[in-house]
A and B are shown apart, each in its own frame.
Chain A
Amino acid sequence: MTNNSKVQSGTYKQTLFRGLWRENPVFRLLLGMCPTLAVTVAVKPALTMGLSVIFVLVCSNIVVSIIRKLLKPHLRILMFTVTIATFVTIADLFLKAFVPEMSERLGPYVPLIIVNCIIICRAEACASKNSLAVSIVDALGMGVGFTLTLCILAGVREILSTGAIFEIPILNIQSQGGWFVPWAAMSMPVGAFITLGLMLGLVNAVTKRQTKG
């Protein structure tokens, strides 16, 4: 009995950490690229976006997992999308009510969570086949992996484009008598594409090293 529960907790742990590195949604599966590129100008919006995605992912995984035995194959995707759209509406209204300025800044990218491939992918690949507990753990792992990736990317871009991180100044900017010249390009689309490209390259290189050694 104890042995059994140990094995169980082992797989839960595996499921939880899978999303962080081995199956990281952005670096490994290349899912959810649009919000990744769009909201990573600074860490704050990236974190807000990540938390909203975690909320939607967990809720939709719960619902899909509960109704998984009732799903008809040909209506499956439609059911997923409608479920997700409902939770995204809730998240959007919540953001509008409690953090209106952040909601304004994120603009249409909050409703665009509906078409974020990560959520449909997890509903299809995990929640529609597994029990409630596994689905929740999986959603948490994937969501946290996504949020961390967003924050790292946003951190790199924010520090290079403004010399600050989380809006707290770290590098001395030239206009205030310091030495650092902010890279304006980093806050523009160019910065997003190139930073993500280089980071993917880095992850590939690290993986290759790991498998070799």
Chain B
Amino acid sequence: MDTVNALIVGFISIVLINNLVFTKFLGICPYLGVSGRIDMAFGMGMAVTFVVTLSGTLTWLIDNLILVPMNLEVTRYVCFILVIAGAVQLVEMYVRKFFPTLYESFGIFLPLITTNCAILGLCLFINLWGIDNLLEAVVLSFGAGIGFTMAICIMAGIRENLKLADVPDCLKGAPITLITAGLLALAFMGFAGMIR
């Protein structure tokens, strides 16, 4: 029961309290780029969730089973980035084969997941927080993906309404999106006291 509790707490904490976008500033590029329409935002979020779960798990395994026992921690970053690039390639092939329309609408953003900081960032945070069992690593990676999806969908919803708003000319586009993100981050700070 204790482990289940710890897992649930970890999950909630990474989705709401330590949300990657609002507190760690990870994955801002796709966050600004793809949050124009809600369906694309959701698709992007799902792709990121899948890649982040896969690569979070794989990097944890590689780190703990190969790199640490063999004292190869120096090569950690190179290994992590290769694992992520491989996972993205896999997702790209899968989406192209089974969801061609979705693939078309993603365009350049799918291969760009490789350089999405959220994914490498999460792998590094799992390493930094010293997560020492596999189950926790999997749950945290999945939670990070869900948190990203949530953040990007909220933003897409707001931006769809923002089109009707009267925004000053020089603030149109990225600036107003950043300011909105700031206000959202303020709202998410309200979750900070929930755990610990």
Q: Which residues of A contact B (CB under 8 A)?
A: 30-31, 33-35, 37-38, 77-78, 81-82, 85-86, 88-89, 92-93, 107-108, 111-112, 114-117, 120, 185, 188-194, 196-198, 200-202, 204-205, 208
Shortest distance in angstroms between B14's beta carbon and chain A's nearest beta carbon?
A: 15
B22-48 to A contact mask, C-beta < 8 Å, 1/0: 111111110010000000000000000
CB proximity to A under 8 Å, residues B1-58: 22-29, 32
A193 to B182, Cβ gap below 8 A?
yes
Q: Is B120's CB under 8 angstroms from A112's CB?
A: yes
In this complex, how many residues of chain B approach chain A with their Cβ under 8 Å: the count is 44
Complex CA gap A120/B117 in Å reads 13
Of A185, A200, A205, chain B has the most CB atoms within 10 Å of the CB of A200
| Interchain CB contact (< 8 A) of B82 among A37, A82, A89, A208 | A82
Taking CB atoms and an 8 Å cut-off, the chain B residues in 128-185 that contact chain A are 128, 168-171, 174-179, 181-183, 185
Sample of 15 further A-B pairs with CB below 8 A, known A190-B189, A193-B179: A78-B82, A81-B81, A82-B78, A89-B74, A112-B121, A115-B116, A189-B185, A191-B182, A192-B25, A197-B174, A198-B179, A201-B175, A204-B169, A204-B175, A205-B170
Q: Does B115 contact A (CB under 8 A)?
A: yes
Please, which residue of chain B has its CB at the minimum distance from the CB of A78?
Answer: B85
Complex CA gap A143/B69 in Å reads: 37
Binary CB contact string for chain B from 94 to 128 against chain A (1 if under 8 A, 0 otherwise): 00000000000000000100111101110011001
Is B68 in the interface zone, CB < 8 Å from A?
Answer: no
